[in-house]
Structure 1
Amino acid sequence: MARPIWTGTLSFGLLNIPVSLMAGERRTDISLRMLDSRDQTPIRYERVNSSTGEEVAWKDIVKAFEYDKGSYVVLEPEDIRSAAPESHDAIEVESFIDASQIDPRYFEKPYVLVPAKKAEKGYVLLREALSATGRIGVARVVIRTRESLCAVIPHGQALLLLMMRFPQELVDIDEYRIPEGKPEDYRITAKEQKISEQLIEAMSGDWDPDAYHDEFRQRLHDVIAKRVKDHKVVEHAEEEPAVPDHAATNVVDFMSLLQQSIKRKQRTPAAEQTGATKPSKKKPAAKKKPTKTAAKKPGSATSKKPPASTAKKTATKKAAPSKSPPSAGKGTAGGDAAKSAAKRRKVA
């Protein structure tokens, strides 16, 4: 099972639909590796210092921008994070536009929007509304750290997300030498024009995507199959990843959210500014004072003094004399020896 590229919400107005972004295209290019012809060992790509020729570890690599030939400014990770947008988990639709007004050059890469569990109602609602109005939603989405322009369009029973290019990414056609003017300026006769139109009509037909194949890939695949025919091929089974269970439900009051969204869009700029600048009458919450019982509680982590009973026991233990071995002459054997010596002196 394919893994989602991105997980978040599709939002328009006050409605949020939990969705997963799944790949809408499949790369069919055949990947070739470079080997050492002497022992068929794969060639590695190494990160090498261009001056010393020594390999550089990942920890010693930084990112920089070349603002002039051979001159760089190093960017810290914090610099890149500060430029990245904050919202990473929402496809925020900014406006709904007639699809015929958008230049096809803006569309780039397709994805499939898959609703999360229990989020089907909002998904179907948006899909049917777009189909009925003939419009598409223009939005922004952040995948990894890159913010992209995108379009949400209905396609059959699904919603597609088409990645779009920003205007700055398109080349102005006027930069190229394009023939302008009328056909007569290029000596095109009416007969040539008519025959060309007849040829187009003769070659016209309905769109059948199954009639088109990547013939180069197929031929190359056949060549590879012949090469590996006499070799053993090991196939590894792929494990299916667990699909996250979103907590969305169908209990959302869609009618109320839609009406509130419409009211927001109908507000005048003056009303919005007044509502934004109006000071709040709420007083700041007072700080809670710590209770005295918590400070006096003997076993509490906040009490600084030990309980009285514990202090007395500790003082008693400190005052008690430590036991030491009896000194010479004070024990039983020492006393008997002294008495015997005194008796001998009296007899003498």
Structure 2
Amino acid sequence: MARPVWSGTLSFGLLNIPVSLMSGERRTDISFRMLDARNNAPIKYERVNAETGEEVPWKEIVKAFEYDKGSYVVLEPEDIKSAAPESHDAVEVEGFVDANSIGPQYFEKPYVLVPAKKAEKGYVLLREALAQTGKIGIARVVIRTRESLCAVMPQGNALLLLMMRYPQELVDISEYNIPEGARGDYRISAKELEFSEQLIETMSTQWKPDDYQDEFRERLQKVIKERMKAHGVVKREEEEHEAAEGTTTNVVDFMSLLQQSIDRNKRTPAKKNVAAPPAKAPAKKTTARKATKAAPKKAPAKASRRKSA
């Protein structure tokens, strides 16, 4: 059974709905392992020092930012934690916008919000309110140590959480050579446009997702099955993992919380831009950064010949 990627609360105004974040996609790529052709043993990937050729243990590995070619600044764990947001257990909705006001390029990855036990009322309340108003919630969520922009929207009986890209992550299309101007500038006749529209009409159909399959994957799976029958396989037992149960909630007065949220928003000016990342206040104490300049390149010592597995 699928396990939650993240557990916490979905909050808007003063309402908090305990939820679990479940993956909304299923990767169907076929992955391969690299083997030694001499004895079919798996090949290991090891962490090797580029200068000495020796393997580096995990405890000796540090994170660094390469600010110039061959020049690094080493970051301590405290440095990274100081930049991380404080809230890790809430999807905090900062505002609601029209569902059709956001371009498709902003959406990245889907998740399904699943309510915890006894949290169904708040879940359905938000779902129905979004469906009636045609709005979607713009929020932030912290998964592991990264804060991401996301959208909360209704889809049938479910609430989806779609990971979003920040504007800084998108390429401005004006950087590319895109044809501009009217059709007359490209000598497109009215008859050509009419025929194109007729062709689109004749090819129009209903969207049926099941009609579209990954044909390459299906053909590759067929080849794999044939190889398995011809050469046999090695089986191994799979461990079963039980999904963690969500937290429960007490009965809450939704009308009171909604009224308080509305009153609070009337007194507080609306945010100018809910999608822009918040400015971080500089930390009072900064950990000393270690700036290291790469040593002149030496001829790398030959790595000792490793025993084959």
Q: What is the CA distance between 1:188 and its match in structure 2?
A: 1.3
C-alpha spacing 1:268/1:155, structure 2 compared with 1 (3 Å): closer
Counterpart of 1:291?
none
Deviation at 1:239, TM superposition (A): 1.5
Q: Deviations over 1:251-284 (max 9, x none)?
A: 1000000000000000056xxxxxxxxxxxxxxx
Measure, in 1, the Cα distance between the counterparts of 2:141 and 2:261: 20
What's the counterpart of residue 38 of structure 1?
38
**Displacement of 1:66 after TM fit?**
0.4
Q: Distance in 2 between matches of 1:203 and 1:67?
A: 52
| Equivalent residues of 2:3, 2:243 under 8 A apart | no
1:242 Cα offset (Å):
4.4
- In the TM superposition, residue 243 of structure 1 has moved relative to its aligned partner by 2.5
Structure 1 unaligned blocks of 5 or more: 270-348
CA distance in 2, matches of 1:20, 1:120: 12
TM-score by length of 1: 0.75
One-letter amino acid of the structure 1 residue matched with residue 119 of structure 2: A
Given the alignment of the two structures, is residue 246 of structure 1 paired with residue 247 of structure 2, yes or no?
A: yes
* Runs ≥4 residues deviating over 6 A: none
* Counterpart position of 2:298: none
Count of aligned positions: 268
CA distance in 1, matches of 2:159, 2:57: 44
- Letter of the 2:133 counterpart: T
Q: 1:247 corresponds to which letter in structure 2?
A: T
The match for 1:60 is 60
Q: Distance in 1 between matches of 2:46 and 2:238?
A: 30
Alpha-carbon separation, structure 2, partners of 1:206 and 1:143: 37
Q: Please give the secondary structure, in 2, of the residue aligned with 1:10.
A: strand
* Equivalent residue letter for 2:202: A
CA distance in 2, matches of 1:181, 1:101: 24
Looking at CA atoms only, which structure, 1 or 2, has the larger radius of gyration? 1
Aligned letter for 1:174?
A: S
Mapped to 2, the partners of 1:121 and 1:235 lie a distance apart of 44
Q: Name the CA distance, whole Å, in 2 between partners of 1:42 and 1:246.
A: 42
Write the distance in 2 (CA, Å) between the matches of 1:65 and 1:184: 51
Q: Where do residues 33-182 of structure 1 align in structure 2 (5 Å cutoff)?
A: 33-182=33-182
Distance 1:3 1:268, change over 3 A: closer
Higher relative contact order (CA 8 A, sep 6+): 2
- In structure 1, the partner of 2:260 is 260
Shift of 1:95: 0.4
Partner of 1:201: 201
Q: Distance in 1 between matches of 2:65 and 2:233?
A: 47
Deviations 1:122-150 (A, max 9, x none): 00000000000010000000000000000
Report percent identity of matched pairs: 74
